[in-house]
Amino acid sequence: MSDSAAPRPYRSYVYAYPHKTAYRPLPDPAPSLAALWRDEPKDALSLYAHIPFCEVRCGFCNLFTRIGAPDELTTRYLDALDRQATAVREALGDRDPVRFATAAFGGGTPTFLTAGELERLCDIAEKRMGVDLRAVPLSVETSPATATADRLALLAERGATRLSIGVQSFVEAEARAAVRPQRRSDVEAALGRIRDTGVPVLNIDLIYGIDGQTEDSWRSSLDAALAWRPEELYLYPLYVRPLTGLGRISPAADREWDEQRLRLYRYGRDHLRAHGYEQVSMRMFRRTDAAPLGPDDYACQTDGMIGLGCGARSYTSALHYSFDYAVDMREIRTIIDAYTESADFSRAEVGRWVDAGEARRRHLLQSLLQAEGMPVAGYEERFGSSPFADFPAELSRFEALGWLDEEAPSGLLRLSAEGLAHSDGLGPELFSPSVRSAMAAYEPK
């Protein structure tokens, strides 16, 4: 491929950097959490708790989750989560004030847990970690089958401000094609129960690029979602990844499929804009009259992340770390079992060090993939250099491809409409050679 040729538009979904497949087991002795967090800012942390259980495994899913939880596994998992939270909070220390700016429960499907178990999860966040769930934005993921009235009522009472439901498609034949069998009537009933809670933000996830999907059927799903006036909508391109259900039966992506997904993306983008939504990123759309939630000064590029659970990642300025990662169900079960039996959560086990160069890449990547773009002055203030001097080849290439907005205000580095459309091709272009090498050497399991 020549320097002027555009990379394929759907290479990798980039929501964090470095990518999790670049993580490796840390050498013995592994770094202690107390040492890692000693000098870190702790006044705007994020808390993420991972619940790795689902009632079914969707055909496209490569998330860290398993089907079902036999033999009181959820109880043992929450016991381990409690032990981990206790160890992490101790590691954060009392020298500096610890404040959380956001909280989220994801998975998997957090609402796989019973209402009583969800209450315990909230107690762990509050009593162990010190998060005031009623004072910060709290986002919780759910599914049509598990969005029951008792679970939703508990979450609303404990402070949830956002409920995100993975619908993927309102067309039953498309849901089956994505190996996510569901009845539309059940989806609509779940959405009704969510609205009944009064939680201020409803997010609906939809997927485009499903086998057999047309522009008409895509519009049908979009309109069905819009009927609920969700404050947010996420439009995801379908990916077929190794070791997933679709990965075992579907051919590799080709140019025709790329064009289909781009066509459906553009249609969805324009359709949502015409119905009162603003584009926040390639995937995220927010209703223009929706009330803002959370602090205006929160920045995912700089603030630390505390991850609880064996599928969660934690971010310090120097190290991103987690537990082992897998997609294959047998491997996932083994990792979860090991997590539930762990007694010592005082050290980081798997991760990747982030040096100054990688920090620059992370800041540029995570800023540039937002529709609002990146203030150049903020980058220069943080790093003491210009992004144009640090990444001349990459930014020149993006400009040549028409991916940078030539009409952006002075001092703002922002993607054009086509740049946003190609976010999943653009993002990997900013990966460092060492991260690319580690990702290439990763063996899926």
What percent of the chain has a predicted confidence (pLDDT) above 90?
A: 78
Please, which residues bridge with residue 35 across strands?
A: none
DSSP letter for each residue of 337-383: HHHHH----SB--EEEE--HHHHHHHHHHHHHTBTT-EEHHHHHHHH
Q: Is residue 330 part of a domain?
A: no
Reading the block at residue 139, the tokens are 């986002």
| CATH code of the domain in which 205 resides | 3.20.20.70
Residue 249 shares a structural domain with residue 363:
no
Please count the structural domains in the chain. Answer: 2
**H/E stretch holding 208:** strand 201-208
Q: Is residue 410 part of a domain?
A: yes
Q: Is residue 306 part of a domain?
A: no
pLDDT digits (tens, 9 = 90+) for 126-171: 999 999 999 999 999 999 999 999 999 999 999 999 999 999 999 9
Q: Is residue 207 part of a domain?
A: yes
Residue 89 shares a structural domain with residue 182:
yes
pLDDT digits (tens, 9 = 90+) for 336-382: 999 999 999 999 999 999 999 999 999 999 999 999 999 999 999 99
Which residue would you say has higher pLDDT here, 271 or 242? Answer: 271
Q: Is residue 181 part of a domain?
A: yes
pLDDT digits (tens, 9 = 90+) for 75-105: 999 999 999 999 999 999 988 889 999 999 9
Residue 102 shares a structural domain with residue 239:
yes
Residue 254 shares a structural domain with residue 402:
no
Residue 276 shares a structural domain with residue 363:
no
Residue 257 shares a structural domain with residue 372:
no
Q: Is residue 88 part of a domain?
A: yes
Provide the CB-side half-sphere exposure for 147 (13 A, CA).
25
* Omega of the bond leading into 428 within 30 degrees of 0 (cis): no
Residue 272 shares a structural domain with residue 373:
no
Contact 53, 65 (CB under 8 A): yes
Task: Specify the pTM.
Answer: 0.93
Provide the CB-side half-sphere exposure for 372 (13 A, CA).
8
pLDDT digits (tens, 9 = 90+) for 185-205: 999 999 999 999 999 999 999
Q: Is residue 350 part of a domain?
A: no
Which residue would you say has higher pLDDT here, 88 or 292? Answer: 88
Residue 208: partners with Cβ closer than 8 Å, 6 or more residues away:
218, 235, 236, 237, 238, 261, 264, 265, 268
Residue 365 shares a structural domain with residue 263:
no
Contact 424, 13 (CB under 8 A): yes
CA distance 31 to 346: 9
pLDDT score for 60:
59
Mean pLDDT score of the chain: 91
Residue 417 shares a structural domain with residue 276:
no
Q: Which of 270, 287, 304 is the last residue in one of the domains?
A: 287
DSSP letter for each residue of 372-418: T-EEHHHHHHHHSS-HHHHSHHHHHHHHHTT-B-TTSPTTEE-B-HH
Give me the domain span that covers residue 431.
356-441
Q: Which of 287, 320, 339 is the last residue in one of the domains?
A: 287
Residue 145 shares a structural domain with residue 32:
yes
197-227: string of b/e by CB count within 10 Å (b at 16+)?
A: bebebbbbbbbbbbeebeeebbebbbebbbe
Q: Is residue 9 part of a domain?
A: no
Contact 47, 104 (CB under 8 A): yes
Q: What is the largest CA-CA distance in the chain?
A: 60
| CATH code of the domain in which 363 resides | 1.10.10.920
Residue 251 shares a structural domain with residue 397:
no
Residue 94 shares a structural domain with residue 240:
yes
Q: Which of 287, 318, 347 is the last residue in one of the domains?
A: 287
pLDDT digits (tens, 9 = 90+) for 41-78: 999 999 999 999 888 766 556 666 788 888 899 999 99
